[in-house]
Structure 1
Amino acid sequence: MRHLGELEVSDIGLGCLGMSWAYGYADPGLARQTITLAVEEGVTLFDTAASYGHGNNERLLGQALGRRRSEVVVATKTGLTSLPVFGIPTGRDGRPRTIRRAVDDSLRRLGTDWIDLYYLHRVDPKVPVEESIGAMAEAVQAGKVRYLGVSEATAEEVRRAHATHPLSALQMEWSLFRRKVEDQVLGVARELGIGVVAYSPLGQGMLTGHPSSTTRLGRLDYRRFMPRWRGDGLRTNMRQVAVVQEVADQVGASAAQVALAWLLAKGEDVVPIPGTTKPHNLRSNLGASTVRLSPQQVERLDAVAAASRF
């Protein structure tokens, strides 16, 4: 177990985005099985958002948790708009009146009386972050939300948000391929006692090295259109995945487990939330908790980000 501020969660959580959007078709039945297995295996942090599948992801998670809702920490987010049919993000809306309505909508879709961790998904440049966080703080005072967080915020935005209402978590993309969080915002989070939730810790699947996440993407998979999966970008990144696999072979683990173990080694305040729609992948990811990397192996993995095209 680890702590996000005062909130205790499992050292590895479950990101639910891919169960409703982004990576092509996901079998809802298999997704529910994965969520159920996660609870049984001791996962307590489940991450969703109002914008994922235009609310469908929250509905899926709420239905899958059912009576076991009280055993876990449900994290969801507000502040992004999305298309009704496809759930594709279209913009930001951090206005207080929008957030007040969004809290109740999320509670209804999740089928719960409270949200454990409520994030501002993105800071709206048209709305002072103090106003957005202030509206979220009202939900805390009303008993609808327990703890607050922000996602993909700058160091300054984190300070301003925390001054408005104490934050428990900062969610940032953080992996062997994406380490921008380490520049400034990580230090601020630690100074203020805010835990860090790392989303896309497997580089949106690329760090697994599996063909379905690297060279054989489905036709509805949005990664097909990203430079990191095309031409020279893909070739460069796959050379770095080979380095991760070499370390994995040394410690008797999978590439995904090594990528997660590297993050876990970055501090007791770091909680990765790899996403998957399949039970066997979930079991494998959770195995990262037992992988131990030597200082030399960590140093070798540190060099992967500098050489990647992400």
Structure 2
Amino acid sequence: MTAPLRSAVAVGGAVAAGARAGDLLRRNPPGGADRWERTNHAGRPLTLLEGPTAALAVAVGCLAARPGRRAAGVLAAAGAAGLGALDDLVERPEDRSGGARGLRGHLAALQRGRLTTGAWKVLGIGATGLAAAAVADGPRTSGRGPARALDVLVGGALVAGAANLVNLFDLRPGRAAKVAAVAALSLSAGPGAADARPLAGAVAGACAVVLRDDLAGRSMLGDTGANALGAVLGVAALARWGRTGRAVALGAVVALTLASEKVSFSRLIEAQPLLRELDRLGRP
């Protein structure tokens, strides 16, 4: 299969799978519709079923990638979605009310001896990120010994960090899906992006499926969907860049994550006219 055909199949497969999954989940929501209902920032009801829809869509889209990237993409999507669902559905109210929010909040709770669902998610996505990085390149292309171990460590951190970063934008209708789609397009651009395009296409296709209802405020990605999209973007970054590029990308992800602990992304976006208009684009 040629590279352009792989990319087209990835987008089409994600769109088709997402449309079908969304229809099935709306008809038969696991555990009942009430289990997935939440209230958004404006106090209106919505559903988190968009999350598993996006996760299934992006995982199916990853099947069009080359074997090593394919396995890494599916593994990253499945692991991030499963652990995200744990946080979406099983999080204890006392953890959130007790300040266990964001990476720092969950790690602080862990230091106090309380293992929150968010901490489980952080640890679990870190583990699946490492596993995805280990299979993304394969031993023949990555070598062995300390260099191989370092590649897997950086790659795993990038996959896990990207999963967390996309989730940080899931605070307003359509925002996380827009960010994921723009990141996917950027990873697809320029020479040397052939291996990354099917994975990026899977993310773009999944975003296309869920964006309309997300923008309308009827649904949201939640941890399940946002983590899955971000994790596959991380695998696409591994396919796109070598060691230097991956290190730079990881540095950017870490910097944005740390910044989010100090500064509200929503306030920054509202303060910049262009970002504000792009953020609101498509909302009622």
Larger helix share, 1 or 2? 2
TM bin (shorter chain):
under 0.3
- TM-score, with normalisation over the residues of structure 2? 0.28
Larger strand share, 1 or 2? 1
